[in-house]
C-alpha cells in the first residue's frame, strides 16, 4: 500500500520538534510539504508589510532547509478548501498531516478539511505542538472552564506533568526513504511569492529588524541562553534597565510563527536553570513568557467571540467611544505625546515593542485617555505586531483595557510620567521621533510645556513641526476613572456584591434596575456581564444564562429612596483573594 | 425568568388556538382576561422591549403596560450611531413617556454618549417634564462630557424646569455639566427640604458662593461631591451647623489644568475639625489629579480624609506627610511615584493610619522587606491589597516567589500581587 503524504504547514514553520511532520514521513513513500496562501486576500487581510515579510522569510528558510534534504517547500496559491481536492487527486495523496491549531477559527477550518479529506479517502493525522500542554486538559482540570486568573492557571499547570519532550529535527535518512521528485517547473508553480506579488510597494522599505525563519530562531535561542547573567540573576529577575529596543535575543515573533518550538525553549530554560542553580525545580516565573502565551490560548480555544466585546461572555461591556479620527492619530503616532508616538512609530517600522510599551499605548487608547474600544487597538496590533497571535493579542488587549481577567483600573499609565520613568534619558524618543532630538530631557516628554524660545531653538515648534497633545491627560483620566467605576458598579449590583467603589446613592443605582439589559448595553443578546475573574471558588464567576435577569421589582420602595453609602473603598475592585 | 414564563405558557392554550378551544373552557381562561396584577407581575420580569411588544397584544395588556408603577423609574439612553456602539431609547417611546407618564416618573436618569446631539436631546426631554414629581435625577455622560457642549442657556433652562416642577428632589447627579449658581438657587428655593444627595464634580460655572447657598439651605444634605475650588471654610461650617444632618459622604476632586497655573487655597484645620465633630462618621474622599509640584498646600496639617486617590504621580514627601497627618485614612491608592523606595513612608502609614484597610500601588517601588513589615503592621485589617508585581523589589531577605507566601501569612489569606501580561 503506497503512502503518499502531504504535510500542511500553517504555523509550526520548522523542521525541529514537529510531530505532525514526523508522522508524514513515518512509513511514507513520498512526502510533500505544502504551505497554502492566497495572494488575492493578502491585500485585504489585516496584515501589514512587516508581518508578510517575516512570513515569507520563514517560508524561504523552510524551503532552503528542505532543499538540503533533497526536498522543497510547495507554496500553493489559493484557499485550502479549493486547493486540497486538487492536490489529493494530482498527487494521489493518502495521508494528510498538520499541527493542531487550538484557535476557534483554526478548529473550524481544520474540521472542514478533515471531513474533506475523508471524502477523498485521505487519512488525517493531527499532532499538538504549538502549545506546551494539552489545553483541553487544563480546562478539564479547572471544572471544565478555562482559568481566568493567571495565578489560578499557574496553580493548575504546576499540577500537570511536564510538557511532552520536543522531538529532534527530521533527518536526511528519514527524508531519503520518502524521496519526492521535484519537477523542473517547481519554481513556476510552487514558489514563495514576493512582497510585490502580494501587492506591497517595496521601494524605500527599510531593512527588517526581525528576520523570519527557523534558522534565525535557533540562532537567537542560543544567544538567549548564553545570557547566563540573566539566568543567574533570576532571583533579581525584575527588569532594572528596560530594553525598549529590539533585542537580538528576542523570541516572541518566532514562537508565534512556530519557527521556534515552545517546548524546545521550555526545556532549554529548564535544563540551563537546573545546571546553573543546582536546584531541582525551576520556579514558574522562569517560563513567564511561555505561560502567558499558554494562558491566553487556553482562555480562547473554546470561545469564538474571544476577539470582540459583543457576545463574549468573559468581556465586560464597556460603552467605548467611536472616534475614527482619534484612532488614526494613535495608530499613526500623531497623538502629540512623544512617548506614545515613539512607541507606535517603532511598532510600525519594526513590528515589535517591549511589553511595557504595549501597556502604555493600550492604556492610552482605551481606559486611560481616548476611551476607544480595545478591539480597534487589537486590530492595529494585528496588522503591525509580529508576535500577535489571535489569542494572545485579543486576550492582552482585554486585560490591558480592564475588560476581562483584570479589574484594577486604577493602575493607569501616564503618557508623560511613565515614559520619563522608563527612559529618563529620552533617547528612545529621539531615536524614533528625530524631529524632537534637540529637546532637553526636561521637556522631551512634554514638548508643549517648553517655552517658545526653546521650541524654536530646537527647531521643532509644537503645533507646527510636531502635533499638539490631542487630549488633556489629567482631564481624560479623571473622566475615564468615573466611566469605569460606573460600569463596574452596575456589574456588582447584578451580582449583589458590595462592590468596593464609592457608591453614589441615587435610587436606580442603589437597587437593581427595573428594566434589564435589553434597554441598555450593546446588543440584543449580550447583557452586562460580570467579568469572570475568579480565584478558586470566590464571588466572581463566569456567568451563565440563568443569571441574566436580576430579580427586579418594578417600583422602588419610597422609603428606600436614599440609601446610605456602603463604601469600603473608593476605587479598588473587590476581593480576588480566596475566601479562608 | 424568561424560562419561567415559558413553562407557564404550557398551562394555557396558545392564543392561536383560541378559536378552536372546547366549549367547556370558560372565557375566564382567556389570556386577555388575566387579572391586572398578574399581568403586572409578569411584565415586571420582562425587558422593556418585550413588554412593549406584549402591550400590543390586547387592550388589557396595553392598559397594564401603562400602569404608573411600571414608569416610576426610567433611564433614557441617547446615543448617535456615529459615536457609540450602544443603542438608543426609541424616539416613539420617548414621546409616549412624555405624553403619558411624565407625571409618574420619579427616578430618572439620562445616559448620553460623546455627541452634543445626544446631550441636547436629553435637555429637550428635561424641558418637557413639567408635571412630574421627580425624586432622583442623574445626567451621565458615558464617554466625553457632551453636556458641556450644549449651550449653557439651553441646559440651564431645561434643568430649571425639573428643579421648579418637582419640588421633592432628593438625589441629583449633574457632574460635568454647565450648571451655574442661579440654577442652584432655583434648586434650593424649591427642594431644600428634600435634597439629600448632590453630585456636581467638574461643574466649572459654579462658584463657592453658589454651593454655599445649597449647604446653608438644604439641611438634609448627606452626600456632596464637588471640586476643590468650591470647597471653603464657610462651606464646611455650614455643613456642620446644628440644623444640618450628619454628613455621610464628601467627595472632593482636586484637578489642575496646567502645571503651576492653579493656586490651591488651604482649608483651616478648625473647619475640618468642626466637620468631624458634627459628623464623626463622615467619609471624606479626595481624588488628586495634580502635578507633583502642586501638592504643597495639602496635608500640612491634620486632614480628616478617609479615601485618598492619586491619579498621577505623587512625591515621596507627600506620602510622608500623609502618614503624619491623615489618621482617619481608610484607603490609599497611588498611581505612580518614582524610582526611590517608599519603605519608610509606607511603614509610617501602616503605623499611624490605624483604620487603613485598603491600599493600591502602581508604578512605585517598595523593597520586599519593607513591604512585609508594612503588612505585618496592618495585619488582617488589610482587606484590599492591590500591588503591581513590578512594585516589589526583591532584596536579600525575600524574592518574588517568597514574598507572596510571607504576605499571605500575615494577612491570613492567600495573596498575590497584580500582574500584567508580559509577552
- Note the pLDDT tens digit of each residue in B291-321: 878 888 899 999 999 999 988 888 899 999 9
Annotated binding residues of A, written as ranges, equal: 289-296, 387-389
Residue B239: alpha-carbon gap to chain centroid: 21
d(CA B44, CA B4): 13
Q: Do B421 and A400 touch (CB under 8 A)?
A: yes
Residue B9 confidence (pLDDT):
40
Q: What is the DSSP string of A399-441?
A: HHTTSSS---TT----TTHHHHHH-TT-HHHHHH-GGGTTS-H
Span A540-553, average pLDDT:
28
Q: Does A567 touch chain B (CB under 8 A)?
A: yes
Q: Does A43 touch chain B (CB under 8 A)?
A: no
Helix intervals (H) in A28-79:
39-42, 49-68
Q: Chain B residue closest to A578 (CA)?
A: B414
Residue B44 grid cell: 415586571
CB nearest to A519's CB, from B48, B253, B416: B48
Could you report the per-residue pLDDT of A79-100, keeping only the tens digit for each? 999 999 999 999 999 999 999 9
Q: Which residues of B touch A509 (CB under 8 A)?
A: 138
- Distance (Å) from the C-alpha of residue B354 to the closest C-alpha of chain A? 15
Which of A273, A287, A451, A507 best tests the B interface by mutation, with the highest count of B CBs <10 A?
A507
Residue A336 has pLDDT above 80, yes or no: yes
What backbone phi and psi angles, to 5 degrees, belong to B138?
-130, 130
Tell the burial category of B73 from Cβ atoms under 10 Å away from its Cβ (0-12, 13-18, 19+).
Answer: buried
Could you report the per-residue pLDDT of A442-454, keeping only the tens digit for each? 999 999 999 999 9
Residue A68 confidence (pLDDT):
93
What backbone phi and psi angles, to 5 degrees, belong to B137?
-135, 130
CB nearest to A319's CB, from B70, B106, B143: B143
Question: In which region does residue A529 sit, left (phi positive, over 0), alpha (psi from -120 to 50) or beta (all else)?
Answer: beta
Tell the burial category of B316 from Cβ atoms under 10 Å away from its Cβ (0-12, 13-18, 19+).
Answer: middle
Q: Does A489 touch chain B (CB under 8 A)?
A: no
Residue B10 confidence (pLDDT):
44
Query: Model confidence at A547, in pLDDT bands (50, 70, 90)?
Result: very low
CA distances from A374 to A307, A315, A322, B84, B196 (A): 9, 11, 11, 14, 38
Residue B183 confidence (pLDDT):
95
**CB-CB contact of B279 with B215 (8 Å):** no
Span A335-341, average pLDDT:
97
Size of interface A-B (CB pairs under 8 A): 286
Higher pLDDT, B261 or B333: B333
Residue A413 grid cell: 499609565
Residue B109 grid cell: 436618569
Q: Do A507 and B113 touch (CB under 8 A)?
A: no
- Distance (Å) from the C-alpha of residue B331 to the closest C-alpha of chain A? 6
Q: Do B386 and A552 touch (CB under 8 A)?
A: no
d(CA B218, CA B344): 44
User: pLDDT averaged over chain B?
Assistant: 87
Could you report the per-residue pLDDT of A15-68, keeping only the tens digit for each? 999 999 999 999 999 999 999 998 877 766 788 999 999 999 999 999 999 999
Residue A551 confidence (pLDDT):
28
Q: Does A355 touch chain B (CB under 8 A)?
A: yes
**CB-CB contact of B315 with B342 (8 Å):** no
Residue B253 grid cell: 476632586
- Quick one: what percent of chain A has pLDDT higher than 70? 81
Residue B49 grid cell: 422591549
DSSP A164: P
Q: Does A44 touch chain B (CB under 8 A)?
A: no
Residues in chain A: 580
Query: Model confidence at A340, in pLDDT bands (50, 70, 90)?
Result: very high
d(CA A253, CA A141): 30
Residue A44 confidence (pLDDT):
67
Could you report the per-residue pLDDT of B208-232, keeping only the tens digit for each? 999 999 999 999 999 999 999 999 9
Residue A180 grid cell: 519526492
Amino acid at each position: 500500500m503506497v503512502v503518499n503524504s502531504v504535510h500542511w504547514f500553517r504555523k509550526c514553520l520548522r523542521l525541529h520538534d514537529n510531530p505532525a511532520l514526523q508522522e508524514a514521513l513515518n512509513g511514507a513513500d513520498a512526502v510533500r510539504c505544502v504551505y497554502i496562501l492566497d495572494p488575492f486576500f493578502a491585500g485585504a487581510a489585516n496584515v501589514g508589510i512587516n508581518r508578510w515579510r517575516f512570513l515569507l522569510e520563514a517560508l524561504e528558510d523552510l524551503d532552503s532547509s528542505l532543499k538540503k534534504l533533497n526536498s522543497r517547500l510547495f507554496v500553493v496559491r489559493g484557499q485550502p478548501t479549493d486547493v486540497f481536492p486538487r492536490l489529493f487527486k494530482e498527487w494521489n495523496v493518502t495521508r494528510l498531516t498538520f499541527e493542531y491549531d487550538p484557535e476557534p477559527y483554526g478548529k473550524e477550518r481544520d474540521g472542514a478539511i478533515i471531513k474533506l479529506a475523508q471524502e477523498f479517502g485521505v487519512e488525517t493525522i493531527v499532532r499538538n505542538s504549538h502549545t506546551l500542554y494539552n489545553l483541553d486538559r487544563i480546562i478539564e482540570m479547572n471544572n471544565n472552564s478555562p482559568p481566568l486568573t493567571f495565578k489560578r492557571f499557574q496553580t493548575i499547570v504546576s499540577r500537570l506533568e511536564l510538557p511532552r519532550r520536543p522531538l529532534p529535527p527530521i533527518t536526511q535518512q528519514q527524508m531519503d526513504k520518502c524521496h519526492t521528485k521535484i519537477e523542473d517547473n517547481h519554481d513556476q508553480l510552487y514558489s514563495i511569492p514576493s512582497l510585490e506579488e502580494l501587492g506591497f510597494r517595496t521601494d524605500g522599505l527599510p531593512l527588517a529588524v526581525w528576520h523570519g525563519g527557523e534558522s534565525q530562531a535557533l540562532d537567537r535561542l542560543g544567544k538567549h541562553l548564553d545570557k547566563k547573567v540573566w539566568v543567574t540573576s533570576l532571583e533579581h529577575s525584575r527588569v532594572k534597565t528596560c530594553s525598549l529596543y529590539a533585542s537580538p535575543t528576542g523570541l516572541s515573533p518566532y514562537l508565534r510563527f512556530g519557527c521556534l518550538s515552545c517546548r524546545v525553549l521550555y526545556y532549554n530554560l529548564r535544563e540551563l536553570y537546573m545546571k546553573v542553580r543546582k536546584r531541582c525545580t525551576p520556579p514558574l516565573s522562569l517560563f513567564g513568557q511561555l505561560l502567558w502565551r499558554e494562558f491566553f490560548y487556553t482562555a480562547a480555544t473554546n470561545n469564538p467571540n474571544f476577539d470582540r466585546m459583543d457576545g463574549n461572555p468573559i468581556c465586560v461591556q464597556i460603552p467605548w467611544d467611536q472616534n475614527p479620527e482619534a484612532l488614526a492619530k494613535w495608530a499613526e503616532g500623531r497623538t502629540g505625546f512623544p512617548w506614545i508616538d515613539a512607541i507606535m512609530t517603532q511598532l510600525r517600522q519594526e513590528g515589535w515593542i517591549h511589553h511595557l510599551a504595549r501597556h502604555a499605548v493600550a492604556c492610552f487608547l482605551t481606559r486611560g485617555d481616548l476611551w476607544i474600544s480595545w478591539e480597534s487597538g487589537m486590530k492595529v496590533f494585528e496588522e503591525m505586531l509580529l508576535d500577535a497571535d489571535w489569542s494572545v493579542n485579543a486576550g492582552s488587549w482585554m486585560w490591558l483595557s480592564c475588560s476581562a481577567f483584570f479589574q484594577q483600573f486604577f493602575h493607569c499609565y501616564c503618557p508623560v510620567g511613565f515614559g520619563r520613568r522608563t527612559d529618563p534619558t529620552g533617547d528612545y524618543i529621539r531615536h524614533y521621533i528625530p524631529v524632537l532630538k534637540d529637546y532637553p530631557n526636561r521637556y522631551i516628554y512634554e514638548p508643549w510645556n517648553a517655552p517658545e524660545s526653546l521650541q524654536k531653538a530646537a527647531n521643532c515648534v509644537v503645533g507646527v513641526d510636531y502635533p499638539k497633545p490631542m487630549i488633556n491627560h489629567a482631564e481624560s483620566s479623571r473622566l475615564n476613572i468615573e466611566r469605569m467605576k460606573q460600569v463596574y458598579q452596575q456589574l456588582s449590583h447584578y451580582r449583589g456584591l458590595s462592590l468596593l467603589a464609592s457608591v453614589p446613592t441615587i435610587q436606580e443605582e442603589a437597587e437593581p434596575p427595573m428594566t434589564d439589559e435589553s434597554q441598555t448595553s450593546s446588543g440584543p443578546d449580550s447583557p452586562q456581564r460580570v467579568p469572570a475573574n475568579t480565584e478558586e471558588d470566590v464571588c466572581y464567576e463566569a456567568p451563565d444564562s440563568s443569571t441574566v435577569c436580576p430579580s427586579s421589582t418594578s417600583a422602588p420602595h419610597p422609603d428606600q429612596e436614599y440609601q446610605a453609602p456602603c463604601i469600603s473603598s473608593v476605587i479598588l475592585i473587590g476581593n480576588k483573594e480566596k475566601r479562608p | 425568568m424568561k424560562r419561567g414564563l415559558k413553562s407557564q405558557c404550557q398551562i394555557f392554550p396558545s392564543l392561536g388556538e383560541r378559536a378552536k378551544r372546547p366549549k367547556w373552557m370558560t372565557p375566564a381562561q382567556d389570556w386577555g382576561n388575566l387579572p391586572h396584577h398578574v399581568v403586572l407581575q409578569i411584565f415586571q420580569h420582562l425587558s422593556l422591549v418585550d413588554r412593549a411588544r406584549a402591550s400590543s397584544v390586547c387592550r388589557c395588556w396595553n392598559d397594564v403596560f401603562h400602569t404608573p408603577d411600571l414608569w416610576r423609574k426610567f433611564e433614557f439612553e441617547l446615543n448617535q450611531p456615529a459615536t457609540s456602539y450602544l443603542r438608543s431609547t426609541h424616539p416613539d417611546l420617548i414621546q409616549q413617556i412624555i405624553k403619558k407618564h411624565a407625571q409618574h416618573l420619579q427616578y430618572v436618569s439620562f445616559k448620553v454618549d460623546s455627541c452634543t446631539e445626544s446631550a441636547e436631546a436629553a435637555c429637550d426631554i428635561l424641558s418637557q417634564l413639567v408635571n412630574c414629581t421627580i425624586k432622583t435625577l442623574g445626567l451621565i455622560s458615558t464617554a466625553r462630557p457632551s453636556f458641556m457642549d450644549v449651550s449653557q442657556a439651553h441646559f440651564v433652562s431645561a434643568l430649571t424646569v425639573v428643579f421648579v416642577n418637582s419640588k421633592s428632589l432628593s438625589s441629583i447627579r449633574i457632574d460635568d455639566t454647565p450648571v451655574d449658581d442661579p440654577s442652584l438657587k432655583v434648586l434650593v428655593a424649591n427642594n431644600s427640604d428634600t435634597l439629600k444627595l448632590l453630585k456636581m464634580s467638574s461643574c466649572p460655572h459654579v462658584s463657592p458662593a453658589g454651593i454655599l447657598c445649597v449647604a446653608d439651605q438644604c439641611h438634609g444634605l448627606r452626600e456632596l461631591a464637588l471640586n476643590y475650588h468650591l470647597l471653603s471654610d464657610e462651606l464646611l461650617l455650614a455643613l456642620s451647623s446644628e440644623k444640618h444632618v450628619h454628613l455621610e459622604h464628601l467627595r472632593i476632586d482636586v484637578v489642575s489644568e496646567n502645571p503651576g497655573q492653579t493656586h490651591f487655597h488651604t482649608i483651616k484645620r478648625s473647619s475640618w475639625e468642626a466637620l468631624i465633630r458634627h459628623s464623626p462618621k463622615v467619609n471624606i474622599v479626595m481624588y488628586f489629579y495634580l502635578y507633583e509640584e502642586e501638592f504643597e498646600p495639602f496635608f500640612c496639617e491634620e486632614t480628616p480624609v478617609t479615601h485618598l486617590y492619586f491619579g498621577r504621580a505623587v512625591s515621596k514627601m507627600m506620602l510622608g506627610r500623609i502618614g503624619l497627618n491623615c489618621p482617619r485614612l481608610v484607603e490609599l491608592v497611588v498611581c505612580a511615584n518614582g524610582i526611590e523606595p517608599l519603605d519608610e513612608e509606607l511603614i509610617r502609614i501602616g503605623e499611624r493610619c490605624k483604620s487603613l484597610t485598603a491600599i493600591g500601588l502602581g508604578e512605585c517601588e517598595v523593597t520586599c522587606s519593607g513591604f512585609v513589615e508594612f503588612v505585618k503592621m496592618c495585619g488582617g485589617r488589610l482587606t484590599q491589597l492591590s500591588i503591581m508585581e513590578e512594585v516589589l523589589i526583591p532584596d536579600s531577605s525575600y524574592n518574588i516567589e517568597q514574598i507572596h507566601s510571607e504576605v499571605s501569612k500575615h494577612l491570613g489569606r492567600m495573596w498575590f500581587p497584580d500582574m500584567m501580561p508580559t509577552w
